Structure formats: structure tokens, C-alpha cells
Chains A and B, each alone.
Chain A
Amino acid sequence: MQGDNRTTTFANKIHPNEQLVPTHCSYCGMQCGMNLRVDKSTNKIIGVEPRYDWPVTLGKMCPKGVTAYQQTNHKDRLLRPLIRDDASLKGTKDGFREASWDEAYSLIVSRFQALQRQYGKDSLSVFSGVSMTNEKCYLTGKFARVALQTRYIDYNGRFCMSSAAAGFLRTFGVDRGSTLPWTDLHETDCLFIAGSNTAECHPTSMFRVWEVQNRGGYLIVADPRETPIARRADVHLDLRPGTDLALANCMVNLLIRSVRIDKEFIAAHTNGFEELKAIVESFTPEYTSEITGVAPEKLIRAAEIYGKAPNAIVMFARGIEQQTRGADNVSAYTNMCLVTGKIGRPKAGVATFTGQGNGQGGREHGQKSDLLPGYRKLTNPKHVEEVCKVWGITPEEMPQPGVSAYEMFELMDQQTIRGLYLLCSNPAVSAPNQNFVREALRHLDFMVCSDIYLSESAEYADVVLPSVTWSEDEGTVTNLEGRIIKINKAQEPLGESKPDWLIEVELAERMGRGQYFRHLKTARDVADEFRLATKGGYADYYGATWDKIDRQNGVFWPCRDEADTGTPHMFLDHKFYHPDGKAKLCALPYRPPAEEPCEQYPLRLTTGRVVYHYLSGNQTRRIPFLRDMCPEPYVEVHPETAALYGIHHDEVVRLYTRRGEALYKVKIIEAIRKDTVFVPYHFGHEQSVNLLTIDALDPMSRMPEFKVCAAQIGKLPEGAVVS
């Protein structure tokens, strides 16, 4: 497989003495194809070469992708396990000493077992992430439930994809982030994109987005900021943060009023139209304009374009999902596709921009507090039985559902949870209401952190385990299309670092649960058991063998057996996954965000991303090019708002909310609403905007409301010294 594709021969002309390993980027859900350049004499990764023949991205990469290879042999890599004996140093980088794996494992096992003896099995918890392969995500779920025997496992997808998942499950009965492949995007006639800063967060989608306009199609963007994609939109719906549900209801209302709906489709393939119609009726352009701040004529024009478009795709991302009504927003925007019948065919449908590299696959296979592999439910006895058979345990041994990511911190604070095994995540930057979360981490009796670098969260750990980067292991990832792809190994693990699946197998052995894990000797062994565990589930990966993935440039799930080539387009037969085969039109009344502006906190604070950084920045802040381009956070303020406060460009101000405060440089730009300020969230310690964000959760998806809370700007006293 390696070395035989067109790209490799073609590019090797200019890279003699190197092997090109075809793989995908380590970062976002786009999973851009790339070749890692490996020096044949040192067997080390030394660079990147475009992978022109990867059909989704055609060799294109954003600056994160181009420099991703620099993570592998970075000077900050953890090479040996670290132990900190002095717990009073928690929350700092100090006091760690290098240790052998043996010593680290022994300490972890003795402390974990002591906690479980004293406080019960559920005193331990696992907090994981989805920037790792399906195999690792799968095994982490099994590790928590079978090796540690705890109910408390959840993951950083709660801060990312959980609202999309909950919304799609309610509407369709299945959660595949995109109903169609990305190679359809540029061929549609209208893109309706809400709450996605696509140009910065999924840059390699952009050539397809612009192509829609080049062909004479339309681009509609809903965003409080005039982002680089909104700048060129045919209609920019510049709504107040947190008011998406009103906007989506208005769109559906206008589609119904102008009879740009597909009555036959509605009757044959959906439930709930009359209730929906009754709810959205009051969302006239004028009323909606009052709530959202968007001019009525823009609302009317947007609905007209979407309604007239022969084919259209509704897309959204964290902007609409990281709200207390996130799941509702997802269902409400998806209503647009269903009432118009613009779904279940090529070039028309709905998609969410998956944030993390394996945000799709990682949420399907049992890292979530209530889910088991194959998108099975822990509350369904039949599902539990199916998974127990693969794992070799009895249904009685299967732990009960736990709680969501943020709620785990609440349990740590209450000392219900006393031990934490953290991997592939950095909640000391990425969780909301950081003052509370950091205190909860400090409260833990014992914490283990597995990471490639000493992250902000690792600073709270007693033991830090060195894991490998994506380039030092192999496995599958499911990209934002729902396409299962293969990550290839390009280099042996640096130092004594190990892949997380191996760490979990070795820890399970020492926890006395080796009989359930010791047959897993390679990543492929894990993959084989993983596929079997998904067999018969909603997210069925059984037929997605590594060979098939190589042969056909990825496999879209569901892929049920050897003969099945996968499912690029969902719902082509207009059969949805609810028992009656129909999709559910959701009638959703509007409610404002948890915290509205008031006299004391008159501004709306929204948070987001920049093109140069990924998630908590633990990886990208260490890459020289990316750090140079965006070394620190800032607060974006409209010039009229800045004038009101008497602050100027580059001045440092205090930004504060009911939960916390931080100092930021002001970046003045007209491309933001006057009532809104924006801070990128990729930074840690005292720079973290999550010191300010609210911990209000979506009741369905348990997603925190990162995207809106009430804030105030304070001018620093004259002559204040800012470090």
C-alpha cells in the first residue's frame, strides 16, 4: 500500500532518499490527505508533501496541516513517564521527576485500587478525547467499563459534537454528521451555512464553497461576525449570538408561507409538520428581526434563495451547537431540508462541520457516558448484551450510564469522583468556567494524564504518561463526511512513548483484568475486535476493513459486510432511522440564551477559533510558524463600541463576566456586531477565555454554552503595568 500510489512516485522525483507515507492530518475533521516525508537513513519524519490524489482535499492543506509534521520530533515531547510526589505542586509545571513505565504503572494501579477499595468502583473516572483513532476511542470505552469497572467515562466531544449528535438523532434517528460526501459541495446551487467560521476552522472546504459562487450559485452565511466566508456571502445574516433558533424558525416559516415546500415529501417521509407550522408561524421577519437583530429583508432574501435553489445544502458548526439550545438549533436548521425535501439525494442535504479529527468516529463507539460501540445505548438491554458478548463479560458487570463531561467536574468537586484517567484532552483550557474546573482537578485524590506534551491539564496530574503522536501509530479515523479513513505509521515512537491502546492494555493487565485485553497485541488486533463490536449497530463498521479503506479511498458507514462498499449518501431511499422510517420535524419554541446582557454586563461575549490553532492549542502553540502568526489571544471589538469605552486598537483591557476575568489586547474591526465581542479560546492559564464562559448546559446534549454569555470591558487605570 505504501509507496505505490501515483503521488508517491510522482513526488519522489524531488525527494530522493525519502519515503513518502500517505496519511491524513492530525487535526480537524477535514482529515486532509498528506504524505509524511521520512528520511530513509534516520527513519525520522522530516517534512510534508501534498497528497494530490486524495479526493476530498486534492493536496490542499491549511497552515496547521502543512506544519503538523513538526509535532512528532518536537523538543517538548514527553519521552518518559513523569511522577510528581508532592501533591501541593498541583496546578504547576513543577515537581515532576522521570520514572520508568514500571514504576508509573505500579503507582497508578496501587492508587486506583486503593481508591476503589475505599470509595467504590465509581470513584474513578476516564476523561478522553476524539483526536485519536477509532480503535483507541473504542478501547478507551472498554478500558473504563471493563478494566476500571467505572460508570464515569465521558469525553471532550461534549464540548464539540454532542449537540449535532443529539439533534440528528432526534430528527433522523441516526447521527452521521453529513448526509452526503464533501465532493458534492461545490456542485450544489446554494450553501446555507450557520455558525461556521469555515475559512478558519475547515479551510480546505473553501475551494468548494467558492466554486459554488463561481458557478453562479449562492452562499448564505449566518454569523455574528463577518468572517472571511461571510465577507463574500450573497446574504450575511449577522445575528446576535444565541438567537439561532428564532432565525431557523423564521426560515421555515417563510418557506411555508411562500409555498416553497415539498408537500409530497413532507406527507410521505416526515412527522410533525402541523406542530412545526404552528410554532414557526409567529416568527415573521419583523418579529425575528427584533430577536436576532438581522434586517427583515435579509431574512426574506435568504429564505427565497434557499427555497428556489434546485439543490441546496444546510451546514452548521459549533456556532449554533455550543448553546443551551444547541440540539434544538440543529433540529431547527435541519427542518429547512425536510420541509423542502432537499435531502436524501446527491448535492442536497445537511452537514455539520465536525471539529476534531475523529469527532465523528470517536462519538460512536462508547466513549460517551451512555453509549456503547456501534452507537449502541447503555440503556438498551439488547445492545448491552450484544457488546457483552464481544467483551466476554456479563450484562450485570456492565456499568450504568455516567454523566457528561462538565458534570464529571462537578462530581470531582463533590468528591464523588476521586480519581481521573485523562487522555487526549486538555480540559484545563477547553472546559467552560475554568476557575471551577481547575479547582475540581486540584481536588482529585489522584490524577493520571496521558499526552504527547505537558499540557495545562497535565499540570494537575500526579502521573503523566507519554503517548505517541498520530504519526507513530496506525488505525482508522472517521472524517466529517462519515468516511472511514486510514492513518498510517511513519515513524517509530519517540523515546519511551507508547500508543494509548497499548497503555490501556498494559494497565488492564495490572488491574487484574488482563483476560479481557491481553489478546490485543497490535493496533490491527484492536481494529478487528472493534469492527466486530460495531457489527449490527447503527454505526456499523464491520465491513470497513483496512484493505477496503485503501482500495476505495475510504469507506462511508454504515458498511455492514465484506460485499458492502459503504454509504456515501444517506437516505437515498428516503427511509430515515426512526421505527416508522420517517424523519421528525421538530417544533421548537424559542428561548433566549442562559445569560442575557444586563446593565452590569451589557456585551455579548462569544468565543471561537483562529486558523492557526487547533482546540486548546496544546499542539499548535508549540509550532513556530503558527505561534508567530497568532501568539496570543485578543478581544475583537467594533470601533463604535470601542469609542464608547474610550479604548483603542492594541490597548490592553480587562474583560470580565460573573465567573472570571482576563486581560486582552483590543483588536478593533468593523466586521463584528456592535453588541458582541469575540475572543479565540486556544490559550491557557490566565489567557484562557474559558475563565469567563458560562457553564450552562444544553438539557439534551449537555453541551456548555461557549458561544454566548454576558460580559463587560474594563479600561485599565492609566499607567497600569501589563506584563
Chain B
Amino acid sequence: MKHHLYIEMDNCIGCRSCLAACTQCGGHEERNRNYVYDVDPLVSRQTIPLMCLHCVNPACARSCPAQAIQITDEGVVLSALVEKCIGCQNCTLACPYGIPKFDQEQNLMYKCDLCYDRTKEGIPPMCASVCPTNTLQWLTDEQLAAKQSRHALGQWTASEPYNPLEGMTNVKISLPGILQGKQKLF
């Protein structure tokens, strides 16, 4: 991938513009495909987005008995192919992050495809385009490397070092706390 979706959790204000924008992408049938959660709503207003991380070796695709979940050359994990999906919902159970959604009427799984019809043309996905806070960013390799060195977050995986359940992901996330140890200007 020339560009990466990068998530800076601390920036999220819970506006859910990403979800509204998700419905606007051509191939999304006006349904949003990701999640924003209140972290501890009785205490604070902190929220975090939960987007598909587009795992390098995705559990959803591995669990699919019909090989309906395709992975593109760019590493995008697509929605189930209509003609192959048998509606077993294995993927919704296999995904450690609960990403795939299921359409009962069509008996069909659907999930984030990183706005593939945009991103394959070099256009940012809708969620990162509109995100008013830069929680969701669409970064080049160089920009991402700069972020990584600044935040020093190691392998950029969701679950290392304790239990590398899914290993590497194409989407990179920075957990809350990015300002810790920040050198102040004055």
C-alpha cells in the first residue's frame, strides 16, 4: 500500500462523522461499516473509533469456508463476494475486533473495504477524508514512519507484545496516550 489508514485514538471527539461518511462511499449501499464507542460514558466523554484494521493474515478470511473474503494486492480485506458468501457468519465470530456485520435479509456479510473504489484510484477513504479531528488519517509511508518514530509504539500491532493474536495489520493505530512525554514548547 502506498497509503495507510492511521488511527490516533486520543483525538476522537465522538462526532461519528466517519460513520456518516461511510454511508456516502459508492459501494457501501448507504450502510456504515465501522464503529465508534464511548469508552466509559458515565465518567468521561472519551470515545474511540473501531475500524477494520485490515489484518495481513485476517481471521475473517481464514475462517470463511467459502473463500468469499478476498484480499487485494494492496492488502485490503474486502466484503464477502455476493456469489460466494453462504451466510454462515463464521467471520463475525472469528474477527477479534467484531468488525464484520451481517445483513439478515440478504444473508450476506458486509464490512469495511477501505473505500476500495476510492483508494484504488488514490483517493482517500471517506472516513479519513472527513474526520474533523485527524483521529483517522490517510498517510504515506514516509508520514507514517515519522509518526512511528515520534510515538515509538513498536510493531504497530493491535495486541503485541502479550499475545500476537492477529499479528501485523495494514491499518496502524496509536492507542490513547500520544501526548505522554511530549516535550512542551516552553
Contact = CB atoms under 8 A, between A and B. Distances in A.
B46 A66 contact: no
A207 B13 contact: no
A260 to B, nearest CB: 12
B147 to A, nearest CB: 10
A66 B11 contact: no
Contact of A203 (B121, B133, B178): B133
Contact of B42 (A10, A63, A215, A639): A639
A109 to B, nearest CB: 44
Nearest to B40: A670
Interface in B1-29: 10-11, 13-17, 19-21, 23-24, 26
A217 B20 contact: no
Nearest to B115: A14
Contact of A670 (B14, B43, B186): B43
Scoring B14, B17, B179 by chain A CB atoms within 10 A of each residue's CB, the highest score goes to: B17
Contacts of A649: 42
Contacts of A657: none
Interface string A396-421: 00000000000000000000000000
A235 interface: no
B144 to A, nearest CB: 15
B24 to A, nearest CB: 6
Contacts of A67: 20
A611 B15 contact: yes
A229 B13 contact: yes
Given A14-B121, A226-B44, A639-B42, A59 B184 contact: no
Interface stretch (B56-64, B97-105, B123-131): B123-131
B118 interface: yes
Contact of A60 (B10, B41, B129): B129
A21 B132 CA distance: 21
Contacts of A309: 186
B131 A669 contact: no
A703 to B, nearest CB: 27
Nearest to A199: B13
A66 B185 contact: no
A649 B47 CA distance: 19
Given A66-B24, A200-B13, A203-B17, A60 B132 contact: yes
B16 to A, nearest CB: 6
Interface in A59-73: 59-63, 65-67
A61 B179 CA distance: 25
B74 interface: no
B134 interface: yes
A629 interface: yes
A613 to B, nearest CB: 12
B133 A206 contact: yes
Given A217-B185, A226-B44, A228-B45, A611 B14 contact: yes
Contacts of B186: 189, 308-310
A211 B133 CA distance: 9
B14 A228 contact: yes
A222 to B, nearest CB: 17
Interface string A201-229: 00111110011011111100000001111
A625 B42 contact: no
A294 interface: no
Interface string B105-148: 00000000000011001011010011111100000000000000
Given A13-B121, A670-B44, 8 more contacts: A49-B24, A62-B132, A66-B24, A206-B13, A218-B185, A228-B13, A232-B179, A611-B14
7 closest residue pairs by CB, A with B: A199-B13, A203-B132, A228-B13, A66-B20, A216-B185, A63-B20, A207-B134
Interface of A: 10-11, 13-15, 47-50, 52, 59-63, 65-67, 189, 199-200, 203-207, 210-211, 213-218, 226-229, 231-232, 308-310, 611-612, 625, 629, 639, 649, 668-671
